[in-house]
Structure 1
């Protein structure tokens, strides 16, 4: 069975509520933080509700999940206090990950800030050596995440990832989290040459190291180095390309994790698209939503065809307009999905549906050619 799920919250009830949230989306895997990703405040391991959570996972048919390290960890920093905090806190997060029974903790490698890339590679490797040597009692791997290349962050190329791994003593405990938005934004053409990109990765790093795949569309064209996620099918990568990633024979057996943003006109009405994204990528839309969902996608196809709106052309033309025309962007900053939603709302096409339900059907329509 395809292991696919999303990032979920980790509340006061810990693993149990995280599992319940993931199951509500139809997940067969999920990713969590063990606390807020922006700070070091953590509840005791004993309060993480681990046993109840594992029981709920068994009921939901979830046998593998992933932990993500907090964003504040920067092993590439030249500042001694920032570096030491990163080492110490990552070691603690690894022990918490071990307590959860999880094998991989995803880590942004780090940023070299005021130094250079060579310094960053050496400093990150130094930190990883210290972290791994200090946590040899665990069986947790550090999954280095491929990055988009914004600012001075490292891991923006397969060569940088390979160079870091090569300098780490116990690198058998280093795995990789392959992020689709990040490698697209870093300049790897997964839309037109996924096989070539995977071959290049295999030659430089090794496909056997990939332990997790983050499945995200991108708001920016290939090589933009921006790292701005968007729901599946609403960005420059598109549903068909992401579907090929999820079902590629060389990537099977890994958990595929969505980190796509919540969508809604107002902050209080924003909702995740995870449930429909998972069903679309798994190929289980009728089972999840019923045959009427497909009929409603046909209604959308007819509705937009009368307005000469084609899925990919509309999405890409809108992003190009927002990127290249500052005047047009200021006059109408709406992103593709919001523009489509407004057209449907104006036509009163689904008068009894909530904003979330309409957006689910729009995501389905954007993926319609791949269904």
Structure 2
């Protein structure tokens, strides 16, 4: 079974997101924990969470993925920015325990004028401060396009970061197809080679989720501009092959494609389900 979903608005709560997902034949979903540009998180309603658990169980909604705000940068050389990142991470991970055994995705951060090695140390220090032994949430470090001073544009940077985290059993990786393509990894022409490299450097056991996006850019452009499935440079066949690959097919896939309405995601999900090999 293909576990696939898309990014949904969390404004109306968990139950509403689950119902929206089911309405487009999705079996999972992703959401921002708060405004993607930062700010205060909406208070969790226990009744909504209880209703969500019941509905999700009845309708086969699989493990879901929360996404940290884009403004999160624990690698910053500005203490105020780092303090904000620590506050959000600690608060979000605490809130995630209202829906145990889920996943929380974050962009690792940007070096902003520092050496990458220094930035990696700062990100690891932040994770060492907020990760707790008893937490059930798995924090996913997202593969990035290598735009500007982003950390995570290479598998080696992710591996170096994970190595510095004490509670690394709480860490995984979310592979974004647009990002790795823009970073230079040829997932269309040599998917096996890319996965072999990831396995050798990071370990495929760390891969817990995939952001399934086409790219408006040529490979290696380092620009990060998502396209709808089959409307970009990666192409439908290559992305369908990602969902069918024996080393990836059991992972959950999340669409972050530029759709203004749910119907657009529904169309993409239907095409990808139709391309699913038994």
1:275 pairs with 2:266:
yes
Q: Distance in 2 between matches of 1:137 and 1:250?
A: 29
Deviation at 1:102, TM superposition (A): 4.1
The alignment partner of 2:187 has SS state of coil
44-53 vs 189-198, which deviates more? Answer: 44-53
Decide whether the 8 Å contact of 1:65 with 1:102 is kept in 2. Answer: no
Deviation at 1:103, TM superposition (A): 2.4
Q: Distance in 2 between matches of 1:101 and 1:5?
A: 19
Q: Distance in 2 between matches of 1:157 and 1:48?
A: 42
Deviation at 1:60, TM superposition (A): 2.2
1:82 pairs with 2:81:
yes
Decide whether the 8 Å contact of 2:133 with 2:167 is kept in 1. Answer: no
Q: Distance in 2 between matches of 1:229 and 1:82?
A: 27
Question: Which protein is richer in helix relative to its size?
Answer: 1
Deviation at 1:284, TM superposition (A): 7.4
Query: Within 5 Å, which residues of 2 pair with 1:1-371?
Result: 1-12=1-12, 14-46=13-45, 49-132=48-131, 135-262=132-259, 273-283=264-274
The alignment partner of 2:2 has SS state of coil
The alignment partner of 1:49 has SS state of helix
Deviation at 1:221, TM superposition (A): 0.3
Decide whether the 8 Å contact of 2:218 with 2:233 is kept in 1. Answer: yes
Seen in structure 2, the aligned counterparts of structure 1 residues 32 and 86 have a Cα distance that, compared at 3 Å, is same
Decide whether the 8 Å contact of 2:215 with 2:225 is kept in 1. Answer: yes
The alignment partner of 1:32 has SS state of strand
User: What do you get for the CA RMSD once the two structures are aligned?
Assistant: 1.7
- TM (norm. structure 2) is 0.95
* Runs (5+) with no aligned partner, structure 1: 264-269, 286-369
Seen in structure 2, the aligned counterparts of structure 1 residues 211 and 226 have a Cα distance that, compared at 3 Å, is same
In structure 2, the residue matched to 1:267 is: none
117-126 vs 215-224, which deviates more? Answer: 117-126
Deviation at 1:122, TM superposition (A): 1.2
The number of equivalent residue pairs is 277
Q: Distance in 1 between matches of 2:47 and 2:146?
A: 34
219-228 vs 37-46, which deviates more? Answer: 37-46
Q: Distance in 2 between matches of 1:20 and 1:75?
A: 34
216-225 vs 270-279, which deviates more? Answer: 270-279
Asked which structure has the greater RCO (Cα within 8 Å, sep 6+), the reply is 2
Q: Distance in 2 between matches of 1:152 and 1:19?
A: 36
* Runs (5+) with no aligned partner, structure 2: none
In structure 2, the residue matched to 1:301 is: none
Decide whether the 8 Å contact of 2:120 with 2:151 is kept in 1. Answer: yes
Decide whether the 8 Å contact of 2:8 with 2:30 is kept in 1. Answer: yes
Deviation at 1:51, TM superposition (A): 1.1
Decide whether the 8 Å contact of 2:100 with 2:136 is kept in 1. Answer: no
